[in-house]
Amino acid sequence: MKAAVVHDFTKPLRVEDVPKPEPGLGEVVIKIEASGLCHTDIHAAHGDWPVKPKLPLIPGHEGVGIVESVGQAVTEVQEGDRVAVPWLGYACGACEYCASGWETLCEKQLNTGYFLDGGHAEYSKAFAKYVGRVPEGIHPFEAAPLTCAGVTTYKALKVSGARPSDLVAVFGIGGLGHLALQYARIAGAAVVAVDLFDEKLKLARDLGAEYTVNAREQDPVEEIKKLGGADGVIATAVSPRAFEQGFGSLKRGGTLVFVGLPKDNAIQLPIFETVLNGIHVVGSIVGTRVDLQEVFELHAMGRTRVVHQERNLENVNEAIEEVEEGKVDARLVFDMGVKEPARQPEGVLTQEAEEPSEQPTGEVGEHRGPVPG
């Protein structure tokens, strides 16, 4: 099969032929239809984070496709089901985190596209208990970004405690941010969108943001304080400066949720103001299997819009450059063989662009602790 493979953190991915996986005990093999490109894939390909992924590696944790074969003892899905393969590829199911609804904190977890080969390939193998069923009516091009960008920001919104009449600031309107602002509005909050590009801010307004701030031209802290300060900040940007600005934008008692994972892994926060103003700072890592099903249900109800562009896997390195240079409105999705056009909610267009398409695989790498996605 064709797959996009990382062999060296300092070199581009290679699209090459690799062995097609076979399902083992409790596993399924999925014929991938669509696979979203997340910024985490880029960090994995470059080895940016303190905990390194396995090599060789097939990235991708937004894979959606049809179950082609099942291994022994699989009862959760069957051949022909459309499923999503998320970041949380495996958890032990027995530790205090798994038992208390926080499986995403399991210390024995294995992450798709990091410790397990992911979805940037024609076929992908996954643990059946950890794939998500994709409801009928959701196109693979839409389901793919929801599998990470959607469930990650949905969980972040929950963690923020956002309520009707709150003001939520979303820093970074891209693959994650364009969904975060929609979940904030579903929760009843008003939204201020912060980004560096006018095109991203126009997208935010189109999706319902009441206020926008171009951080190149205005001071986000000053502008958000004029609105009374934010009750919650969802920081999805890949710049530590945006996290610091998010902190400064909060009103007393507000909550700053760390979501994005910049390569530069440090920010400065003042102790005095944090204590005096009763500020909450919390990290939020993806979401559980239940969260993912809720994300799919909301989309099936027409409550969210997924803005995406399709690419071919052969052009994976060009796609990565597009994301790194901020040339993508929201999400890029690799078309691995979807025959029908995507169904988009009214008012959202699937933008077509030049082609790209295909890539590699391997075994489970050595696991050295949970990695945030």
Q: What is the CATH number of the domain that holds 320?
A: 3.90.180.10
The residue-averaged pLDDT of 164-171 equals 97
Domain check: are 250 and 321 in the same one? no
Boundaries of domain holding 134 = 2-147+288-335
For 304-356, write each residue's pLDDT tens digit. Answer: 999 999 999 999 999 999 999 888 889 999 999 876 544 443 433 333 333 33
Kindly state the percentage of the chain with pLDDT values over 70: 91
Give a yes or no: residue 345 inside a domain: no
Domain check: are 17 and 133 in the same one? yes
Domain check: are 256 and 296 in the same one? no
For 277-310, write each residue's pLDDT tens digit. Answer: 999 999 999 999 999 999 999 999 999 999 999 9
Overall domain count for the chain: 2
The yes-or-no verdict on residue 269 having pLDDT over 80 is yes
Domain check: are 134 and 46 in the same one? yes
Indicate the pLDDT class of residue 372, thresholds 50, 70 and 90.
very low
Q: What is the pLDDT of residue 362?
A: 37
Give a yes or no: residue 373 inside a domain: no
Q: Left (φ > 0), alpha (ψ -120 to 50) or beta: where does 369 sit?
A: left
DSSP conformational letter for 296? H
Q: What is the pLDDT of residue 342?
A: 40
Give a yes or no: residue 362 inside a domain: no
Query: Could you please report the per-residue DSSP string of 28-51?
Result: EEEEEEEEEE-HHHHHHHHT-SSS
Report the length, in residues, of the chain: 373
Domain check: are 178 and 123 in the same one? no
Q: What SS3 string covers 56-105? A: CECCCCCEEEEEEEECCCCCCCCCCCEEEECCEEECCCCCHHHHCCCHHH
The yes-or-no verdict on residue 373 having pLDDT over 70 is no
Q: What is the pLDDT of residue 340?
A: 52
Q: What is the pLDDT of residue 238?
A: 87
Q: What is the pLDDT of residue 329?
A: 84
Residue where a domain terminates, one of 283, 307, 324: 283
Indicate the pLDDT class of residue 187, thresholds 50, 70 and 90.
very high
The yes-or-no verdict on residue 172 having pLDDT over 50 is yes
Q: What is the pLDDT of residue 339?
A: 60
Give a yes or no: residue 367 inside a domain: no
Domain check: are 105 and 190 in the same one? no
Give a yes or no: residue 370 inside a domain: no
Kindly state the percentage of the chain with pLDDT values over 90: 86
Diameter of the chain measured on Cα atoms = 60
Q: What is the pLDDT of residue 322?
A: 95
Q: What is the pLDDT of residue 202?
A: 96
Domain check: are 253 and 297 in the same one? no
For 201-243, write each residue's pLDDT tens digit. Answer: 999 999 999 999 999 999 999 999 999 999 999 999 989 999 9
- Contact predicate 212/234, CB 8 Å: no
For 81-132, write each residue's pLDDT tens digit. Answer: 999 999 999 999 999 999 999 999 999 999 999 999 999 999 999 999 999 9
- Contact predicate 150/304, CB 8 Å: yes
The residue-averaged pLDDT of 41-45 equals 96
Q: What is the pTM of this model?
A: 0.89
In the predicted model, what is the mean pLDDT of the chain?
Answer: 91
Domain check: are 303 and 233 in the same one? no
- Contact predicate 106/90, CB 8 Å: no
CATH code: domain of residue 193: 3.40.50.720
